[in-house]
Amino acid sequence: MEALKISQCFLLWFMCSTVLFLNALQPCFAFTSFVFGDSLVDAGNNDYIFTLSKADSPPYGIDFKPSGGHPTGRFTNGRTISDIVGQAFGAKSFPPPYLAPNTQANSILGGINYASGASGILDETGVLFIGRVPLREQINNFEHSRSYMVKVMGEKTTMEFLKKAIFSVTIGSNDFLNYFQPTIPVFGNGKVSPNLFQDFMVSNLTIHLKRLHLLGARKFIVVGVGPLGCIPFIRAIKLLPSGHCSAVVNELIQGYNTKLNGVLDKLNQELGPEAIFIYANSFDIFMKIIGNYHQYGFEDANEPCCGGYFPPFICFKSSGTNRSSALCADRSKYVFWDAYHPTEAANMIIAKGLIDGDESVSYPINIRELYKYNS
Ligand SMILES: *[C@@H]1O[C@H](CO)[C@@H](O)[C@H](O)[C@H]1NC(C)=O
Ligand SMILES: *[C@@H]1O[C@H](CO)[C@@H](O)[C@H](O)[C@H]1NC(C)=O
């Protein structure tokens, strides 16, 4: 099975790289995406580093069909938002984790996943988890992949190839989670003001996006931070009654998202139309799901399906003993998989919203339009 997959990839690679390379790309690889971000989109990178942030044991991945329900390092029961978007555009496989052995040689044309659980925009974020790949290093890793591409197909073809690829960046949640945890010092002992913290995040992210642009990225999806004030973890540490979200947390995030949207607008003016930056408003889509969960087919928008409603929120299953954590009966009826992450069912609604949504959820164009976008 594994050997077959590799030889198929090689065959595609061979066809694509020899026969009219650029024209052959479209039929060979319908959708190329380079994925950056945190545990919302990590496809297994953290399995290869020493870290406390790992999703390498059951029941993580229980609904992930390609692995037969085995954990893959994804921090949910099934597919991530970026998996679902790729499939919607005909991707035959998911971009593999950069840190997995042989990723570079086998799969560069379909894209690569650089995302890492516990990571953030700021380098300091996630330090309590020990290992994680901060956004800056994720881009260093992409730079290595890019050098490899240039070696194989030359600078000009690499630039043409990257121009068509989609670069998604889903990050920022962990910066906020660190900021809101009383035990974690943020920049020394005294916390910076919320306003300054948002500015640090936005300006650092801008630097990273510009660097990706210099390396040849042109089509960007930048996902805003979701309503963390509503996730089970924040509800629990803020001691909120069932069904309530933390307004303080959500307001700080909305302030950040507004600043981010403004910066992306400016980047579009400065670097467009050759480059385009989409602001993906996952915040509003997620709030709509939580507020109307029955209409979306959910029965619970409050408790996580796995790991329970109270700290320490450990979601695990050990075979043979009774020490497993409780798992809900029907995973498709829960918005939250664990205390931090949405279920695949929720991811599907968010992905669909971003693919075909109007300007209020995907600005200035949606992902379907981005896919077709040719400057
Ligand atoms: C990036 O964030 C750090 C804090 O992590 C801050 O000291 C620095 O000023 C920020 N850089 C920019 C360009 O805003
Ligand atoms: C697990 O619990 C069930 C019922 O609560 C019991 O019948 C079974 O013997 C337990 N298994 C082990 C390995 O302890």
Q: Give residue-wise pLDDT tens across range 329-363.
A: 999 999 999 999 999 999 999 999 999 999 999 99
When pLDDT is averaged across residues 80-94 and rounded to a whole number, the result is 94
Q: Return the ligand 2 atom nearest residue 320 CA.
A: 13
Of all ligands present, the nearest one to the C-alpha of 319 is 2
203 lines ligand 1 (CB under 6 A): yes
Q: How far is CA 269 from CA 2, 39, 217, 275, 276, in A?
A: 46, 31, 16, 9, 9
Write down the residue that tokens 């300091």 correspond to.
Answer: 124
- Kindly report, residue by residue over 6-54, the tens digit of the pLDDT: 444 444 454 454 434 444 444 455 789 999 999 999 999 999 988 888 8
User: Looking at the annotation, which residues are catalytic?
Assistant: 39, 338, 341
More confident residue, 299 or 25: 299
| Mutation pick for ligand 1 pocket among 204, 211, 260 (CB with most ligand atoms within 8 Å) | 204
Q: Helix H segments across the chain?
A: 2-18, 21-28, 81-88, 103-107, 135-164, 173-180, 194-214, 232-237, 247-271, 282-291, 344-356, 367-372
Between the CA of 186 and the centroid of ligand 1 the distance, in Å, is 12
Between the CA of 199 and the centroid of ligand 1 the distance, in Å, is 8
Between the CA of 197 and the centroid of ligand 1 the distance, in Å, is 9
Q: Determine if the pTM surpasses 0.85.
A: yes
- Kindly report, residue by residue over 310-325, the tens digit of the pLDDT: 777 888 776 666 666 6
What is the band of 2 on the pLDDT scale with cuts at 50, 70, 90? very low
- Kindly report, residue by residue over 163-209, the tens digit of the pLDDT: 999 999 999 999 999 998 877 766 655 678 999 999 999 999 999 99
**CA angle in degrees (0–180, nearest 5) for 193-291-278:** 60
Residue nearest to atom 8 of ligand 1 (CA): 200
305 has pLDDT over 50: yes
Residue nearest to atom 8 of ligand 2 (CA): 322
Between the CA of 303 and the centroid of ligand 1 the distance, in Å, is 36
224 has pLDDT over 80: yes
